[in-house]
Amino acid sequence: MFPEQRPRRLRRTPALRRLVAETALEPRHLVLPLFVKEGATEPVPIGSMPGVVQHTRDSLRKAVVEAVEAGVGGVILFGIPLEYDADGSRGLAPDGVLNAALRDVRAEVGDETVIIGDVCIDEFTEHGHCGVLDEHGRVDNDRTLRIYAEMAVAQVEAGAHVVAPSGMMDGQVAVIRAALDRAGHSEAAVLAYAVKYASAFYGPFREAVDSQLVGDRKTYQQDPANAREGLREARLDLDEGADMIMVKPATAYLDVLRAVKDIAEVPVAAYQVSGEYAMVEAAAANGWIDRDRTVLESLTGIRRAGADIVLTYWATEAAGWLNRR
């Protein structure tokens, strides 16, 4: 009366486990999000994201060099301006903090990693919304599209290899693709935040970018209840010419990630967002979980669910562990 089937045989030694591991996690799969603050003379710690800072232009360059040395797949930049206005115009200005940082980073590391710009005006508007408002205070989709198109071109001209529209305006990928092509940037790629939920897990990000937002983003970001709608969003962005698509957040949406992966013929990214980072850091700081193991397990889980690329605030550190393994 002994079991005939013994799955444990393949778990007996580290070498056996390595041989049969189904999911690989490598530094190249990881993309590091970075914040750069206009006028900062010292990096500013972000309280709800221990270990993450708002960089100065100088410290940003150093952080990118470290990430490149660790072999990460890419970096994505977010800017925090000194001045806000209704249209987020400092987000488009060639001398605005985000475009200046893209220029710095491209000059520093060239084509050694993939430099991504976040195309969205929420960091730059006085109301904190991802689009401009109409006379009733509603986010005006089509007027926002024109701004995104200009912002994407400015980012590519500053040095971004890839632009990542994150504002969830309908039609944003098509408009950006057309604007890039018209400006002679047909080689620049679009990573679409295709499936993006109105999530409480973005909480710490609001602190990270000194967000001006009052209220929520539920008229443009998706309802967490909806998975099929995520497939619709993904298909629309693919039809509009997205070169890669993203699901965000990651952990609470692994089912959506898998479903998107199953229909996408382009690389699929997942964003392990600020709240996912903060929860692990807080539990680890209390000694409640093993931080490093939890980080690797969460990244492996996101890869297993279907992500070709994972955006994570742990990118450089995790890449370091993976290199030493």
Dist CA 67 CA 74 (whole Å): 8
Q: Give buried/exposed letters for 130-163 (b at 16+ CB in 10 A, else e).
A: bbbbeeeeebbbeebbebbbbbbbbbbbbbbbbb
Instruction: Scan residues 73-102 and list those touching ligand PBG (CB under 6 A).
Output: none
Binding mask 174-213 for ligand PBG (x = CB under 6 A): ----------------------------x--x--------
Taking CB under 6 A as the rule, does residue 122 contact ligand PBG? yes
CB within 8 Å of 219: residues ≥ 6 apart = 138, 139
Which residue lies nearer to ligand PBG by CB, 201 or 234?
A: 201
Which stretch in 50-58, 84-92, 116-124, 150-158 sits in contact with ligand PBG by CB under 6 A?
Answer: 116-124
Which residue lies nearer to ligand PBG by CB, 108 or 301?
A: 301
Dist CA 224 CA 197 (whole Å): 6
**Candidate list 120, 156, 246, 278; residue touching ligand PBG; CB under 6 A:** 120
Is 248 known to be catalytic?
A: yes
Dist CA 159 CA 325 (whole Å): 33
Which residue lies nearer to ligand PBG by CB, 148 or 205?
A: 205
Q: Give buried/exposed letters for 187-212 (b at 16+ CB in 10 A, else e).
A: ebbbbbbbbbbebebbebbebbbbee
Which stretch in 34-42, 54-62, 88-96, 114-122 sits in contact with ligand PBG by CB under 6 A?
Answer: 114-122
Q: Which two tokens stand for residue 72?
A: 């990460």
Closest among 129, 93, 67, 86 to 313, alpha carbons compared: 67
Is 62 known to be catalytic?
A: no
- Shortest spacing between CB 233 and ligand PBG, in angstroms: 14
**Candidate list 54, 144, 274, 298; residue touching ligand PBG; CB under 6 A:** 274
Size of the site for ligand PBG (CB under 6 A): 10
- The one-character DSSP state at 30 is E
Structural Rg of the chain based on CA atoms? 20
The residues that touch ligand PBG, with contacts defined as CB under 6 A, are 118, 120, 122, 130, 166, 202, 205, 217, 273-274
Q: Which residues are catalytic?
A: 196, 248
